[in-house]
Amino acid sequence: MFRDKITRRARITAQSRVASPVIIRSVPQRLREVAEEVQPFVEEVKELFPRLMAPAMMPFTPYPMRVINRFDMVAAILPREIIFRLAENPSVEKIYHDQTMYALFRTVPEEGIFKAPHKVTKEIEFTSTKWTKKLVGADMANKKGFNGRGILVSITDTGASRVHEQTRRVDFESTMKQYRDENGHGTHCTSTVGGQEATDEYLSQRSGRRVLCEGMAPECGLLAVKCLGYYLGMGSTSNIIDALAISLDRGASVISMSLGGTSMTETPQEEPYYKVMDETVKYGAIPVIAAGNEGPGSNTIGAPGCLPQVLTVGAYDPIRGNVADFSSRGPTNWGEVKPDVVAPGVNVDSAIVGVLDTAGDGVPSRFSPISGTSMATPHVAGLVALMMECHGRVLDRKLTVEEIKRMMSELGLEKNNTVGWGAITWEIYERWLSTTYGVDL
């Protein structure tokens, strides 16, 4: 009787958490009785677990208990023991997990989806930056003459290849003993921001169709600051902070940071990056930082992406349109809703070198489709560079991270801890120009 009444998903979720959101369906004519039994425990959860009832728990608030008379249902966040007790109540017909649902994002068209044989996984399905830039609208911006010209984007990462055809025009700095990208992560991120158009010859042959790759802002200035290394892409907080200082000294307007570690502090002020990001934003630069790859659990946003001053980026799948399971979720340790936005970050092909060269396609071909919020972040950094260029040329003013957040809060989704305000796009930016400044491009 107990197992018949509570669904498998509701049971597993309840077993793993102190309190969980559930939907309880009563037997006909017994809804009021069930709601009255649930009410005291809802109040108990509010008192004992205030974070569960904070704005960060949207969409479950501001309705700690929701009665749906038409369908004999009541929804609430309840303690584990009460959920199991209700499953034995003769007035209860079924208990479901109250699952969070998300908007689906635009996907690349069929011609932008490639399949190729893989010696380990047998087949890979992927897309490329030439197609994901269409999803964020960077191609539209390029057609209107905004290519990132005059905007310097710093990519603080494992460095970038000096000889790859997508990244030959990159300038270099390093906080380490050498500049070489022995890992490949930084090359992939740099080429996604502003790489030149190039063909992945290997995957073109294997898929039977030409696979083109191109950065979001192909004429922006690119500064690859190496602060991660040792083949595994590891570094220290001090290396990264030093890379931020170099970026500002070199005049970077956008700083792309596809990196991070576990956030262990109780307040943002305790993070060593806090004052650094304060200075970065005061300088006028926009820090674009990966949310992390610790999803789908909540409270998994990494540092420095957890900080309030930055633009934090989660990942979605550009082929299927859903949020990536690995994309880290909020809230932060202090209850702030994060990430801020999402961008394509699953199986995206672009330039790569070093140990990651074989990661996506199984061969050392100097291109590879890989996944992560690390891949989503440079999409946003390149797009922001295009917006900054437009702001300067059309409005004669500087775009700030605060204005981007205002734009997304007004024109994006209602913010939540999985996708933030949703996908940031050039289309949203054009609407912002029109509604806020009366400018139509």
Name the CA dihedral angle for 317, 98, 341, 351, rounded to a multiple of 10 degrees: -20
In 209-307, DSSP assigns E strands to: 212-213, 221-226, 254-257, 286-290
Tokens at residue 100, please?
A: 């969070």
* CA separation, residue 35 to residues 44, 66, 217 (Å): 15, 9, 55
**How does DSSP classify residue 147?**
S
Q: Which amino acid is at 111?
A: E
Q: Which residues are catalytic?
A: 157, 185, 374
Dist CA 243 CA 60 (whole Å): 40
Length of the chain: 441
* CA separation, residue 217 to residues 9, 114, 193, 203, 362 (Å): 44, 23, 6, 24, 28
User: CB count, 10 Å around CB of 240?
Assistant: 24
Tokens at residue 313, please?
A: 């980026």
Dist CA 222 CA 220 (whole Å): 6
Dist CA 254 CA 378 (whole Å): 10
